[in-house]
Amino acid sequence: MSLSNNVDLKNPATKPMQWSSDHSAFKYWDKTKGEQKEDGTFTGANIIVALPLTFIVLDTLSTIRGYSKTDKCGYYSNEVRDLKKEILVVKNKTGECEKGLYADIIRSEHIKGAKYCQSVYIAHKESETLVIANIQMVGSCLSAWIDFRKKNDVYKGAVSVSGFEEKVNGKTTYNEPIFKFIPVSETTKKEAIELDKILQEYLVKYFNKSKIDQVTQAPVEFREFRDLRSKDSLGKEEIISTVEQFNPQDSDTPPQEYETDDLPF
């Protein structure tokens, strides 16, 4: 917010979800859950979203997520549409860690543990009503999503995740979600379009607010997404639909680190 731009932005997305290989399901951080503290606030907790999850893709942006083992906190950055032209500012709780074009900074020692992430805004049903949410496609989820998008135009139907597939990478065993393309009714599609109008109105304001001075640079070659897949050890647990305390070992990027004015969440 500033003197000339006094709009207090509120992201219309209800939750930023991530795939949890440990639970073979999506999860999101809810700061209003968990144990109640003396000041009346709560410690926060992960909410596990049991499968199946069906959603309509509204828009896709790019950002940085990850976890710093040195600082013991998550990385986050602004969201952009064009990785080759738009500057990313990567931060964690210690402050700004790196700044520049994606290809120039992703291998930097200053952000070791940071990963490419597709921020997918979706419409999905919650209590029989379509709402806007967000899925952070990162880690063990990203490769499956990239492969799925190569074969399907996600804007022409809906996406369903009803199962997962066990994968092995060296000594690491992890679970990837299985994405399926399904048709969507015209009625539901029209509802999703109305939600996307709300989202796009927000994104216009978000990009105006977070606009960074751009430095003209020659186009850079984009690195392969598959090289950035998380290789952390991921276990297996039964899928649940309940509240649990956050375990920083269960995620590369603790969700509570997302709460900052530099992000649309």
Interval 13-60: pLDDT, tens: 988 999 999 999 999 999 999 999 999 899 999 999 989 999 999 999
| pLDDT score of 235 | 29
Q: Could you report the per-residue pLDDT of 79-107, keeping only the tens digit for each?
A: 999 999 999 999 999 999 999 999 999 99
Q: Could you report the per-residue pLDDT of 57-76, keeping only the tens digit for each?
A: 999 999 999 999 998 999 99
Is 92 among the domain residues? yes
Question: What are 202's strand-pairing partners?
Answer: none
Residues of the domain holding 28: 16-212
Q: Report CA 229 to chain centroid distance, whole Å.
A: 14
| pLDDT score of 230 | 32
Is 112 among the domain residues? yes
| pLDDT score of 224 | 29
Tokens of residue 246, six digits: 């956050």
DSSP symbol at 224? P
Q: How many domains does the chain have?
A: 1
78: enclosing H helix or E strand = none
Residues 158, 162, 168: CA angle, nearest 5 degrees: 115
Cβ-based neighbours of 22, under 8 Å, separated by 6 or more: 234, 235, 236, 237, 250
| pLDDT score of 98 | 95
Q: Could you report the per-residue pLDDT of 149-197, keeping only the tens digit for each?
A: 999 999 999 999 999 999 998 888 999 999 999 999 999 999 999 999 9
Please answer whether residues 196 and 60 qualify as being in contact, where contact means their C-beta atoms are separated by less than 8 angstroms.
Answer: no
Is 260 among the domain residues? no
Query: What beta strand segments (E) does 138-236 contain?
Result: 158-169, 172-182
Instruction: Return the top range by mean pLDDT from 72-76, 215-219, 235-239.
Output: 72-76
Tokens of residue 249, six digits: 């070992």
Is 245 among the domain residues? no
| pLDDT score of 200 | 97
Is 76 among the domain residues? yes
Q: Could you report the per-residue pLDDT of 92-150, keeping only the tens digit for each?
A: 999 999 999 999 999 999 999 999 999 999 999 988 899 999 999 998 899 999 999 99
Is 179 among the domain residues? yes
| pLDDT score of 3 | 53
DSSP symbol at 222? P
Query: In 165-198, which positions are buried (b, 16+ CB within 10 angstroms) versus exposed (e)?
Result: eebeeeeeebbbbebbbeebeeebeebbeebbee
| pLDDT score of 209 | 82
DSSP symbol at 232? S
